[in-house]
Amino acid sequence: MIDRAQYSSSAPRFRDYWQPRFWLGWLAYGMFRLFAFLPQWAIWHLGPALGEIAFRLHRTTTIKTNLAMCFPELSNGEREHLRRRYYHYMGRAFLSLGMSWFGSRKRFERLFTFKGREYIDAAVANKQGVLFLAPHFIFLEHGGIYVSLFYPGIGLYRKPKNPMLHQALRYATTRLGGMVVERYGNLKPVIKAVREGYFLYYLPDQDPDRAEDDFVFAPFFGVPAATYTAFAKLARVTRAAVIPMISRIRTDGKGYEVELLPPLENFPTGDDVADATRVNLIIEQAVRENPEQYLWSYRRFKTRPDGGPSPYGKK
């Protein structure tokens, strides 16, 4: 059994982080606590208003670049409409952070629907761990917390520089039963836990950010994307069932959804490019169903073949 105390945290205390350099963090923490009082109808209707403000004021070109690369078949007007819808859903996801950080178990159970749970139950019956293939949908954090209500799950995260926010993040994501481990920390206990039947929540659609990271280029929306080989390697060493997991905001405004897809068969194959291509295709198919809910503000294509220039420019 894994020691949960090592992979969770208590709530941050002001007496531990009273210095002025932490005050902005406390302001954000307090804001999310206020968001927790918003009813679902308010999140659904106020989110687009907040997103519309961001759509008009946010000057980043990353989203436009990603949409142009992934949807060349759309007109400029159609991509602009998709970009606006993306901001509207981002507004809803942002306001939903109050529920994520402070919402009760009862509220999670009331607002979420769970599709494909039978795939996990089959793995449990086979005494097999699960490796969730979780794409970067804007609501992914909430979905991971929800699934941890029912199953012993572990998530990977990147440590914030601010220690107060670090503790707050760990508390928010583990307070209802889940566990987290730093992405570049010691994963040996995690691998052992998955072999023993735990569940690992893994986001494979990330651009490599360290020179020593192993990756290959595989198509994503027809564009070569630097894709980690670690996901397939984890599947091999843990012998886990690989189950795609999609977390969405329901389009009817009545809550949220976690959908599990059938476990991947004959994965991994040992061919890094073939395995990465398959993973990217699964993610692409999910994105095409709800393109407005994928994290287009992430620089997915920053690393280019042969050291070519980033499509996002210098930064």
Per-residue pLDDT of the chain (315 residues; tens, 9 = 90+): 677 777 788 999 999 999 999 999 999 999 999 999 999 999 999 999 999 999 999 889 999 999 999 999 999 999 999 999 999 999 999 999 999 999 999 999 999 999 999 999 999 999 899 999 999 999 888 888 999 999 888 888 888 889 999 999 999 989 998 888 888 777 888 888 899 889 999 999 999 877 678 999 999 999 999 999 999 999 999 999 999 999 999 999 999 999 999 999 999 999 999 999 999 999 999 999 999 999 999 999 999 998 889 999 865
3-class secondary-structure state, position 261: coil
In a domain, 169, yes or no: yes
- pTM listed for this prediction: 0.93
Number of domains in the chain: 1
Residue 174 CB: number of other CB atoms within 10 A? 21
In a domain, 302, yes or no: yes
In a domain, 275, yes or no: yes
Burial-class residue 6 by CB neighbours within 10 Å (0-12, 13-18, 19+): exposed
Residue 285 CB: number of other CB atoms within 10 A? 12
In a domain, 315, yes or no: no
In a domain, 312, yes or no: no
CA-closest candidate to residue 51, choices 94, 88, 97: 88
User: Contact, 215 vs 208, CB < 8 A?
Assistant: yes
Strands 112-115 and 256-260: what pairing? parallel
In a domain, 72, yes or no: yes
Domain with 268 in it? 4-307
In a domain, 79, yes or no: yes
Residue 130 CB: number of other CB atoms within 10 A? 27
The residue type at 86: Y
In a domain, 19, yes or no: yes
Strands 179-182 and 241-249: what pairing? unpaired
CA distance 126 to 136: 29
